[in-house]
């Protein structure tokens, strides 16, 4: 008893010096838990029955836990189809954006030409563009190309629009590769495409991973363009699909929340699996410039 009592103060002194003030840390913990409340509340709600919530209130101890809300959302409310559509839009758009932007980045870094900086700046300016500015002309363009209300409209638009950010990030990554690597490969007889494939791309891999994680989340979570470029319910991605459901199941919160949670699972998996890359991706635009 006395041994622990004497040992403790020493330990505490050392800790205070190393870390932040315990009161400050306490506040941070309170906020962190506060930040998680919407998640926890949503998860609890999604496992309860509508009647149970309605009659007994949120704080009551659940009478029964049920998976029924998830089942109903998945089958009856069509969340399974919406989710599939989301993947059918996100994966091709991501692939096109990543491929084209790495080509673009290679071109901008490998060759010295007068338009190099203006083209780069055009992409940087695109980062800041309020995308609403593109809304109407893109809508008309999709109509003119006869791809309005098809997944291709969204795939092409997303890949084009994300080119700006991807090229910006990858160009700055590419710049860190020593130029002499390209030159020596050229002397060894490789052509530019082989240099791009065999030397530049493998070295870009960490950047590509960071970018892909971030871009996946962005394209997957898009809402505005899916409203504008799609009309048919069977083509809708999960975001507009959910908004649509809200009209149908207006007060059925357990169902809505269960649907929302299902919509979040793919991005959550990507986030937890590739967390480091996700964070790298978020900061790359801001700190590496």
Q: Is 135 in the site for other proteins (CB under 8 A)?
A: yes
User: Of 156-175, which residues contact other proteins (CB under 8 A)?
Assistant: 156-157, 159-161, 163-164, 167, 175
Kindly tell me which residue out of 11, 12, 14, 19 binds other proteins, with binding defined by CB under 8 A: 19
DSSP state of 233: G
Q: How many CA atoms lie within 13 A of 57 on its CB side?
A: 2
Q: Is 45 in the site for other proteins (CB under 8 A)?
A: yes
Phi, psi of 148 (to 5 degrees): -60, 140
Q: Pull the structure tokens for residue 229.
A: 């470029």
# residues contacting other proteins (CB under 8 A): 100
* Closest CB 65 distance from other proteins, rounded Å: 18
* Closest CB 7 distance from other proteins, rounded Å: 19
Residues 40, 50 contacting (CB under 8 angstroms): no
Closer residue to other proteins, CB minimum distance, 3 or 133: 133
* Closest CB 115 distance from other proteins, rounded Å: 9
Closest CA to 276 of 202, 209, 228, 220: 209
Q: Is 87 in the site for other proteins (CB under 8 A)?
A: no
For residue 103, give the H/E element and its range. Answer: helix 79-110
Kindly tell me which residue out of 8, 39, 194, 231 binds other proteins, with binding defined by CB under 8 A: 39
Closer residue to other proteins, CB minimum distance, 1 or 113: 113
Residues 249, 256 contacting (CB under 8 angstroms): yes
Closer residue to other proteins, CB minimum distance, 66 or 213: 213
Buried b or exposed e, range 265-280, using 16+ CB within 10 angstroms = ebbeebbeebeebbeb
Sketch the per residue contact string, 177 through 216, with other proteins: x for CB under 8 A, - otherwise. Answer: ---------------xx--x--------------------
Buried b or exposed e, range 227-245, using 16+ CB within 10 angstroms = ebbbeeeebbbbbbbbebb
User: Of 104-133, which residues contact other proteins (CB under 8 A)?
Assistant: 104, 106-108, 110-114, 117, 119, 121-133
Q: Pull the structure tokens for residue 230.
A: 């799609």
Residues 174, 109 contacting (CB under 8 angstroms): yes
Q: Pull the structure tokens for residue 236.
A: 């809708």
Instruction: Kindly tell me the number of DSSP H helices and DSSP E strands found in the chain.
Output: 15, 0
Closer residue to other proteins, CB minimum distance, 62 or 126: 126
Sketch the per residue contact string, 245 through 264, with other proteins: x for CB under 8 A, - otherwise. Answer: -x----x-x--xx--x--xx
Q: Is 101 in the site for other proteins (CB under 8 A)?
A: yes
Closer residue to other proteins, CB minimum distance, 66 or 258: 258
């Amino acid at each position: 008893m006395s041994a622990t009592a004497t040992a403790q103060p020493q330990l505490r002194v050392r800790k205070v010096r190393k870390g932040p003030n315990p009161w400050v840390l306490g506040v941070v913990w309170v906020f962190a838990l506060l930040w998680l409340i919407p998640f926890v509340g949503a998860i609890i709600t999604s496992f309860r029955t509508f009647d149970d919530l309605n009659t007994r209130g949120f704080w009551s101890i659940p009478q029964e836990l049920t998976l029924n809300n998830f089942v109903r959302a998945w089958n009856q409310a069509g969340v399974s189809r919406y989710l599939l559509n989301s993947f059918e839009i996100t994966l091709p758009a991501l692939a096109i954006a990543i491929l084209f932007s790495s080509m673009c980045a290679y071109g901008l870094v490998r060759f010295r030409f007068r338009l190099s900086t203006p083209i780069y700046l055009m992409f940087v300016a695109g980062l800041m563009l309020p995308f609403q500015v593109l809304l109407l002309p893109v809508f008309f363009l999709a109509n003119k190309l006869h791809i309005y209300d098809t997944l291709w409209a969204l795939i092409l638009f997303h890949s084009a629009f994300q080119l700006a950010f991807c090229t910006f990030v990858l160009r700055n990554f590419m710049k860190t590769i020593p130029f002499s690597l390209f030159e020596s490969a050229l002397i060894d007889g490789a052509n530019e495409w082989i240099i791009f494939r065999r030397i530049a791309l493998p070295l870009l891999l960490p950047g590509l991973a960071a970018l892909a994680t971030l871009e996946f989340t962005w394209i997957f979570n898009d809402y505005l363009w899916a409203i504008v470029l799609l009309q048919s319910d069977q083509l809708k991605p999960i975001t507009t699909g959910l908004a649509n459901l809200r009209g149908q199941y207006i007060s059925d919160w357990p169902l809505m929340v269960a649907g929302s949670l299902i919509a979040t699972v793919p991005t959550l998996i990507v986030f937890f699996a590739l967390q480091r890359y996700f964070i790298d991706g978020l900061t790359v635009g801001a700190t590496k410039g």
